[in-house]
Amino acid sequence: MKWALLSVWDKAGIVDLAEVLIKHDYRLLSSGGTGAALQEVGVPYTDVSTHTGFPEMMHGRVKTLHPRIHGGILGRRGIDDAVMQEHGIEPIDLVVVNLYPFEAMREAGLTLEEMIEYIDIGGPAMVRAAAKNHKYVAVVVDSADYGTVADAVRRGGFSPEERFALAAKAFARTAAYDGAITNYLTGIDRPFPDVLTLQFRGGRTLRYGENPHQAAAVYGDAGIAGEQPLQGKQMSYNNYLDVHAAVGLLREFDDCAVVIVKHNNPCGVATGEALLETYIAAREVDPVSAYGSIVAMNREVTEDVARELTGTFVELVVAPSYTAGALEIMKAKENMRVLRLPEPVVQDEVRSIDGGILLQRTESYREDWRVVTEREPDAHEMRAMHLAWKVCGHTKSNAIIFADEKAVIGIGAGQMNRVESAEIAVRKARKPLAGSAVASDAFLPFPDTLEVAAAAGATALVQPGGSIRDAEVIDAANRLNIAMIFTGVRHFRH
C-alpha cells in the first residue's frame, strides 16, 4: 500500500479525491481541518500526530515538521531504504497541499501581526520536498489537477513526465507565494515594495516578436493575454499590443462604439446607435490606415457587420459576442483573427528598461473641467470635446485630436512637437473641420497649435492647462473666438 499526505486550506474536491485514493489502496495521512473534513464523511485516515508519535504544538504551527514526514517525502527509493527502515519512516508517494491564503488576505485590511499568521511554513516545506523528490513522489498544489491525479491513480500510478510537470507547477506556486510575502513585507507603509516579484502563468511562444528576427512569448491566463482566437491565425506579438491599445480606448465608452487601431494608435473612432453605421463611420476616418487594422467593438457582431468587415482586409476583430451567422460569414476570411472581448483586469503597468523595469499605477482620479475663455462651449462642442479627450488619452504623444459629436475627424500622433501633430491631423482629415472640437494630451506652451486648429475651422479646444504661458494662450483663444477648457490632468502616452 502507498501513503498519501493530504493537507489543504481549500477543501474543495479533497473528499472526492480521498475516496478515489482509498478505493485504490492508498493510506491517508492528514490533520487539522483536512482531517476533520475526511472524518465528517467517514473517510479513514491516520492523524499526522499518530504517525509521527509527536503532538501538534504551538496552536498548530508545528505538526508536519518532523523526520517521519519529511523523511517519508524526501527518501530516495533504493538509496535511503535502510535508514528509513532503521528510523521507522514510511515512504510517502503522494503529497496534496494547498497553502494558507496569504494573497487573498492582503486585501482584508489585517494588521501585520494578523498577516504573519497567514504565512504558511509546513505547507511550502512539504511542497518543496515533494517537488525536489519528484522522481518518486507526486505533488499536487492545485485542486484543478485532482481529476488528473484521480485518473493516474486509477491506472496504477504517475508517469515520470506527469510527476515532473506537477513538480514544476509546485515550485512555481511556492515561488509566487514567497513573492507575495516579499512584496507585502517590503511594501508596508509605501506605495511600492522595495523588492518586486511578479509571476505570470500560461507562457506561450509566439512566431516572432515585433519583427521576424526577434523571439517573443506571451504570459498570462486572464484578460487579453488569456484569450484565444475563435478563428484565424495564431495571435502575434503586434496583435497583442494593438488589441491592448484598442480595448483600452473602447472601454472608455458606454454607448455603441468602434475603435480602429493601427500600430498602437487609433486611426478611427466613432460612436452611434447601430453597430454597422458606427463601424463604417470609424473606418471612414482614415480608410487607408484601416487597411490591415485591429477593429474593436463593444456590441454584438451581427451578419450585416460581419459582411462589412469581410469586405476589406482586417487583421483582427474583437467584440463581446458574435451571432452564429456572423461567425459563419467571417470564415470566408480564414486568416482574420476573431477574438472575444474579455473582462478587464486591473493591474499595474510594467515596462522593461535597460537593467530593470518601470512600474506605473493609475489610481482613480478626478478631472476639473473649467472654462477659461470668455465664450463658453455650447452643448455640441462639449460632446465633441469629451469624445476627442477620450481618444487623446489613448493616442501616442504628442497627440492632437479633432472630433465632432459622434466621431473623430483628424488624428495627429507621436510627433516631436505639438504643432506638427495638429498639422498632420488637419491634413489627414477627410471631412470639413468647421465646428469641430480639438483635444491636446498636454498643455499648449504657445498659441501656435490653437491657431492651426482655429484656421482649420475648430471652435473649441480642451487641454490640461498648466503652462507658464496659459494667459497668452487664453488671450489667443478669446481673440479667435475659441471656447477653451482646462482639465487639470495630462495624458502623455509614450
Residues annotated as catalytic are: 132, 263
Q: If we measure between CA atoms, which residue out of 410, 458, 433 comes closest to residue 267?
A: 410
Cα separation, 336 vs 439, whole angstroms: 33
Cα torsion 138, 142, 147, 148 to 10°: value is -40
- Please count the other Cβ atoms lying within 10 Å of the Cβ belonging to residue 109: 7
Give CA angle at 447 (445, 450), nearest 5°: 110
The single-letter DSSP state of residue 191 is: S
User: In the numeric block, which cell numbers belong to residue 236?
Assistant: 502575434
Q: Residue 69, Cα to own-chain centre: how many angstroms?
A: 39
Type of residue numbered 232:
G
- Evaluate whether 4 touches 24 at the Cβ level (below 8 Å): no
- Gap between the terminal Cα atoms of the chain: 62
Q: If we measure between CA atoms, which residue out of 46, 148, 151, 60 comes closest to residue 92?
A: 46
| Integer CA distances (angstroms), 18 to 5, 30, 65, 142, 437, in order | 10, 11, 23, 15, 67
Cα separation, 89 vs 277, whole angstroms: 74
- Evaluate whether 262 touches 283 at the Cβ level (below 8 Å): no
Residues in the chain: 494
Residue 26, strand partner residues: 2
Q: How many CA atoms lie within 13 A of 143 on its CB side?
A: 13
Q: Residue 309, Cα to own-chain centre: how many angstroms?
A: 27
Q: Is the omega angle on the peptide bond into residue 398 within 30 degrees of 0, that is, cis? A: yes
Cα separation, 128 vs 95, whole angstroms: 10
Question: Per-residue b/e over 49-72, b at no fewer than 16 CB within 10 Å?
Answer: bebbebebeeeeeebbebebbbbb
DSSP H/E element including 170: helix 160-185
Cα separation, 169 vs 221, whole angstroms: 15
Cα separation, 428 vs 148, whole angstroms: 58
Residue 350, strand partner residues: 359
Q: Is the omega angle on the peptide bond into residue 478 within 30 degrees of 0, that is, cis? A: no
Cα separation, 111 vs 409, whole angstroms: 53
